[in-house]
Amino acid sequence: VLVKAFSSSFIIPDFRGFCHHLDQIYNSCKNNTNGKVASYIPQLARLKSEHWAVSVCTVDGQRYSNGDVNVPFTLQSCSYVMTYAMVLGLLGAEEVHSRIGMEPSGRQFNELCLDYNNKPHNPMINAGAIMTAALVKPHLSAADRFDFIFNMYRRLAGDEFLGFNNAVFLSEKECADRNFALAYFMRENKCFPEGTRLHETLDFYFQLCSLEITAESGAVMAATLANGGINPLTGDPVLTVDAVRNTLTLMHSCGMYNYSGQFAFKVGLPSKSGVSGCVLLVIPNTMGICLWSPPLDNNGNSCRGVQFCMELVSRFNFHNF
Ligand code: DON
């Protein structure tokens, strides 16, 4: 690290100058009071609108953090990305995509629908994420499955915070009529592998949504995706290169709900948002960014989070194309 610092060979050589821009963008987004905190799960409705956190981790370990970067929040849909990448590593793309499509659905994230092949459209919406959960080591007991995945997430976060919010888990489970409907609809259409235990799979899905991170640990997870699956702080090869490539591709086309096309057009970077107000943004081979602010727009994306991404690419040439 010192050699890199003295020879200015960091991926962002003038990191101090870069941070100055990030401060400005952070402050400009802070004034954005649009959006509403998700209310369909009581525990999420209690999130404070004022929370606003930005954390950055580069692929060579430089860090920037501003705001509520140490306040825990649940991963929600941002877990879809990580679990999908892990399942790709376990089973390979062919087997995973024999059960899940790779097209944007063009529908709401929890809509009761399947694609023309009777599969969930992609792993970034509820139906696809329930299927992804079903594919994680189904032969294990529920407890061993949770241990396995928690350990994988721990490796993604390195030494940073990872928790589990039991109140959110119980609240999710309590308000899950749509997810139950999706799972039964998929079972009716023979989507699941034989022997899938439906209720256990849904519990596992709710548990994944209820994993807790902070903006700082989220930035390290995103940076692991930016770094080809190797955690930049620990050097741990958590995800395979192929899994990362496939995951980033689907984040790019499907990661921001029904705003994914516009986001790809305007920002041009792989990202994933969740109803807790989290946005994970990946600048491949450069850095991972975690943005967190609970008020959501009509598409379900964090208002401040989306504004931050827009302003970032208006100042820096990060758009993929
Ligand atoms: O399934 C649910 O109700 C939520 N926990 C979904 C999480 C989320 O962020 C919305 N996603 N696509």
Give distance in angstroms: CA of 230 to centre of ligand 1: 27
Ligand 1 pocket: which of 209, 254, 280 to mutate (most atoms within 8 A of CB): 209
Gap from CA of 252 to ligand 1 centroid (Å): 18
**Residue 1 falls inside a structural domain:** no
Is the complex ipTM more than 0.90? Answer: yes
* Cα–ligand 1 centroid distance for 209 (angstroms): 7
3-state secondary structure the chain: CHHHHHCCCCCCCCHHHHHHHHHHHHHHHHCCCCCECCCCCHHHHCCCCCCCEEEEEECCCCEEEEECCCCCEECCCHHHHHHHHHHHHHHCHHHHCCCCCCCCCCCCCCCCCCCCCCCCCCCCCHHHHHHHHHHCCCCCCHHHHHHHHHHHHHHHHCCCCCEECHHHHHHHHHCCHHHHHHHHHHHHCCCCCCCCCHHHHHHHHHHHHCEEECHHHHHHHHHHHHCCCECCCCCCECCCHHHHHHHHHHHHHHCCHHHHHHHHHHCCCCEEECCCCEEEEEECCCEEEEEECCCECCCCCEHHHHHHHHHHHHHCCCCCC
Distance (Å) of CA 77 to CA 22, 23, 33, 58: 25, 27, 23, 23
Tell me the CATH number at 132: 3.40.710.10
What is the predicted pLDDT for the residue at 111? 87
Residue 147 covered by a domain: yes
Structural domain count, the chain:
1
For ligand 1, atom 4, which residue shows the shortest CA distance?
Answer: 76
Query: Is 113 within 8 Å of 103 (Cβ atoms)?
Result: no
Contacts of 255 (CB under 8 A, 6+ apart): 81, 124, 263, 270, 271, 272, 273
Predicted pLDDT at 2: 64
What is the rounded distance in angstroms from the CA atom of residue 178 to the CA atom of residue 176?
A: 5
Q: Which domain holds residue 66?
A: 12-315
Instruction: Return d(Cα 48, Cα 58) in angstroms, integer.
Output: 29
Q: Which of 40, 76, 78, 121 to mutate to test the pocket of ligand 1 (most atoms within 8 A of CB)?
A: 76
Residue 109's pLDDT is 84
Query: pLDDT at position 1, please?
Result: 63
| Residues 76 and 305: beta-carbon distance below 8 Å | no
Q: Looking at residue 107, what is its pLDDT?
A: 87
How far, in Å, is the centroid of ligand 1 from the Cα of 85? 18
What the block records as the tokens of 170 is 């119980």
Nearest CA to ligand 1 atom 8: 77
> How far apart are the CA of 76 and the centre of ligand 1, in A?
6
Q: Provide the pLDDT for residue 6.
A: 65
Is residue 85 included in any domain, yes or no? yes
How do beta strands 63-67 and 73-74 pair?
unpaired
Rg from Cα positions in the chain: 18
Q: What is the pLDDT along the chain (321 residues), one digit of tens a residue?
A: 666 666 668 999 999 999 999 999 999 999 999 999 999 889 899 999 999 999 999 999 999 999 999 999 999 999 999 999 999 999 999 999 999 999 999 888 888 899 999 999 999 999 999 999 999 999 999 999 999 999 999 999 999 999 999 999 999 999 999 999 999 999 999 999 999 999 999 999 999 999 999 999 999 999 999 999 999 999 999 999 999 999 999 999 999 999 999 999 999 999 999 999 999 999 999 999 999 999 999 999 999 999 999 999 999 999 999
Quote the crossing angle between the two packed helices 215-226 and 241-254, to the nearest 10°: 110
Euclidean distance between the first and the last CA atom of the chain, given in angstroms as a whole number:
30
Q: Is 64 among the domain residues?
A: yes
CB 288 within 8 A of CB 88: no
Residue 106 has a pLDDT of: 87
User: Pocket around ligand 1: residues whose beta carbon is below 6 Å from it?
Assistant: 76-77, 109, 125-126, 172, 179, 209, 274-275
pTM of the model: 0.97
Distance 13 CA to ligand 1 centre (A): 38
- The answer to whether position 321 is within a domain reads no
How far apart are the CA of 59 and the centre of ligand 1, in A?
29
Best residue for ligand 1 mutational test, from 39, 41, 74, 77 (most atoms within 8 Å of Cβ) = 77
Largest alpha-carbon pair distance within the chain? Answer: 62
Atom in ligand 1 nearest the alpha carbon of residue 126: 12
Q: Which of 275, 278, 296, 299 to mutate to test the pocket of ligand 1 (most atoms within 8 A of CB)?
A: 275
- pLDDT value for 110: 86
Residue 149 domain flag: yes
Does a structural domain hold residue 320?
Answer: no
In-domain check, residue 3: no
